[in-house]
Amino acid sequence: MTTSLTTGPQARDAGALLTIDLGALCDNWRLLRGRIGGAECAAVIKADAYGIGLEPAMAALRDAGCRTFFVAHLSEAVRARTVDAAAAIYVLNGFLPDTGPVYARFNLRPILGSLPEIDEWAAFAEREPSAPPPALHVDTGMNRLGLSLEEARALSARGLPNALRPGLLMSHFAGAEDPADPITTRQVRRFEEVTRLFPGIPASLLNSSGHFLESAPAHALSRPGYALYGGNPVPGRPNPMKPVVRLEAKVLQLRTAEAGEGVGYNGRRTADGRRRLAVLSIGYADGYPRPASATDAKIAADLPAGEAIVAGRRCPFMGTVSMDLIIIDVTHVPEDEVRRGDTAILIGDGLDVDEVGQRAGTIGYEILTGLGRRHSRRYVNG
Indicate the residue among 14 and 241 with the shorter CB distance to ligand PLP: 241
Tell me how far, at minimum, the Cβ of 125 lies from ligand PLP, in Å.
22
**In the complex with ligand PLP, which residue's Cβ is closer, 62 or 172?**
172
- In whole angstroms, what is the distance from residue 305 CA to residue 61 CA? 35
Q: How many other β-carbons are positioned within 10 Å of the β-carbon of residue 184?
A: 23
Chain positions contacting ligand PLP, by CB under 6 A: 44, 46, 92, 172, 207-208, 223-227
Closest of 308, 275, 305, 281 to residue 291, by C-alpha: 305
Catalytic (active site) residue 265: yes
Our CB check for ligand PLP shows the closer of 225 and 289 to be: 225
CA distance from start to end of the chain: 6
> Cα torsion at 354, 347, 267, 272 (round to 10°)?
90
Q: How far is CA 145 from CA 42, 135, 155, 235, in A?
A: 20, 13, 17, 25
Strand-pair category, 343-347 with 2-7: unpaired
- Residue closest to ligand PLP when measured from CB atoms: 225
Supply the minimum distance, in Å, between the C-beta of residue 46 and ligand PLP: 6
Provide the residue type at 193 as one letter.
E
Min separation Cβ 242 and ligand PLP, Å: 16
Angstrom distance (rounded) from CA 263 to CA 275: 10
- C-alpha neighbours within 13 Å on the C-beta side of residue 375: 26
Q: Of residues 90, 265, 284, 288, which has the active-site annotation? A: 265
Q: Using CA atoms, how far apart are residues 162 and 50, in angstroms rounded to an integer?
A: 36
What radius of gyration, in Å, describes the C-alpha atoms of the chain? 24
242 in active site: no
Instruction: Provide the β-strand partners of residue 314.
Output: 309
Q: Please, what is the minimum distance in Å from the beta carbon of residue 15 to ligand PLP? A: 28
Shortest reach from residue 43's CB to ligand PLP, in Å? 9
**Closer residue to ligand PLP in complex, CB, 132/224:** 224
Q: Is 368 strand, coil or helix?
A: helix
Q: Is the dihedral of CA 18, 307, 250, 47 positive or negative?
A: positive
Q: Which residues pair with 262 in a beta bridge?
A: 270
Of 113 and 306, CB closest to ligand PLP: 113
170 vs 294, beta carbon nearer ligand PLP: 170
Q: How far is the CB of 161 from ligand PLP (least distance, A)?
A: 23
Write the DSSP symbol of residue 177.
T
DSSP state of 46: H
Catalytic residues: 46, 265
